[in-house]
Each structure stands twice: as C-alpha cells, then as structure tokens.
Amino acid sequence: MTLVDSHCHLDSPRFEGETDALIARARDNGVTRMLTICTELRREPGVRALAEAHDGVFFAAGTHPMSVAGQPMATVDELVALAEHPKFVGIGESGLDYFRAADSAEAQKESLRVHIEACRATGLPLIIHSRDADEDMARVLTEEHRAGAYSCVMHCFCGGMALAEAALDLGFYLSMSGMVAFPKNQELRDVFADAPVDRILVETDSPYLAPPPHRGKRNEPSFVPFTAKVGAGVFGMDEAEFFERTTANFDRLFPKAKNRAEAA
C-alpha cells in the first residue's frame, strides 16, 4: 500500500537538519511521494532545492494569503517561469484567509486571480487555502472558472457544505488533513462523506495539524496513514482501497508529478 502526502512544508524551520530522516520515515510508512509547498516566492529556491535533492519530492509555489500584505504581488510571468522546472507541479498555495488576515481581503482576491491566470497559462492545478472566507471563495473560484477552466484542490479543507459543493461542482478536489481525524470534527467528516471519493486527496500540511495519536505534536509526512485510515472509515471503504483511490486521484490532478515519478 502506498500513499501521497499531497501538501506539506518540508522547508519549515521545525524540520531543519532533519529533512533526510523525515523523508526516510515517510517512505518506511508507505508515503512514497510528497508535494512540498512554498508560501512566499522569496523562499522558492530553497523549496526547489529540497525537491531536486530527493526522489519522490515535488514542489509548488505561490503567495499564501496571509503573506500577501507583506510581500510583493506575484505576477503571472513569475509563476509561469517557475513551471518550467520538471518537478514544479502546482500553483500555490493561494487563496483567502479572513481568520487571520481579513484586513488584506482585497489584495488577497487580487493575488488569487493572478494565481488562477497562471494556472490557465501553465495547465497546472491551483492549490487553495481558504479559511473563514467561504462565500467570497466560492464566488471568486466560480467567476474565474466561467472565464476559463482550470483545475484545483481545496487544500486542508475545513469549510462548510456550501463551499464544498461549489468546489465539487467546478470539478475540483477536496483534501483531508489531520483535522478530519479530530474527535470533535464530525461536521467536517460529514462534509467529506457527501463528496465523491474520486475527488479526495490526503495530506499532512506538516508541520501543522498532526492527527491523533500525535495531535499537539509536530506533524510530518509519515503521519499520512493516520488521516487516511480515518478517511477510509468516512467512506466505509477498505483501507487499502482508499489508499489506492486517493493516490490515483493525486495522479489525475497532478499528472506532471505522476509522469516524472514514472520516468525516474
């Protein structure tokens, strides 16, 4: 059985000096591929270097909505240029965060539209962060999709049913993080249970949001199976089948990563 960690942050200072060991632990636990995300373009060279140094590690880059106010606005040309790298497989994460950065809402929307345009130009999927912004997020994603189709994953999905339905109606994917395994998050599990299993990914968002039995500790890619096992229960599926389905979903959304892995 193999799994993919569809969203992690291997460049986190909390992993400093341990990257080789944590990637090895992930592989020992069946996590054969990882997508590490750059949240500020100034840090892209370091994230790229991690992907170049490790088989099975791919990367994406963009400006996180919480970084928009303090960073130069990314341009479509910048993001398109990054996509020339063979292990660069997605655009983002971008999106809207009104929980911690509501004062920059308009700039976040502008940045999000830039990232979407880069997705159209490259054919790469968009990686979305959305928190406490369900209504605006659904509106922007839908407006932009009408203007020109693109693919997308709602990373670490924690929104309500309306946003989930809007995303699924556009053909997008929802990604399960460790949050889905928190005992009190039955409402979130219900949102996922209402989605088609062929639109589900699994991630850690490490070093954040470690699932039980590691909750409250530093998360890492080797913990993907804990969340995936809960996901299998949500869908009433055999664990091996759910692992296989979510891996196939990742390959469908991120074909550049699939093709690169097969060629390695």
Average pLDDT of the residues in 48-64? 98
pLDDT at 93: 97
| Band of pLDDT at residue 51, cut at 50, 70 and 90 | very high
Reported pTM: 0.97
Classify each residue of 2-27 as buried b or exposed e, where b means 16 or more C-beta atoms within 10 Å of its C-beta: ebbbbbbbbbbeebeeebeebbeebb
Q: In total, how many domains does the chain have? A: 1
Gap between the terminal Cα atoms of the chain = 20
Residue 237 predicted with pLDDT over 90: yes
Average pLDDT of the residues in 85-104? 97
How many whole angstroms separate alpha carbon 231 and alpha carbon 42? 35
- Domain of 145: which CATH number? 3.20.20.140
Cα angle, residue 118 at apex, residues 105 and 90 outer, rounded to 5°? 95
| Per-residue pLDDT tens digits for 192-217 | 999 999 999 999 999 999 999 999 99
Domain that holds residue 231: 3-263
| Band of pLDDT at residue 263, cut at 50, 70 and 90 | confident
| Band of pLDDT at residue 164, cut at 50, 70 and 90 | very high
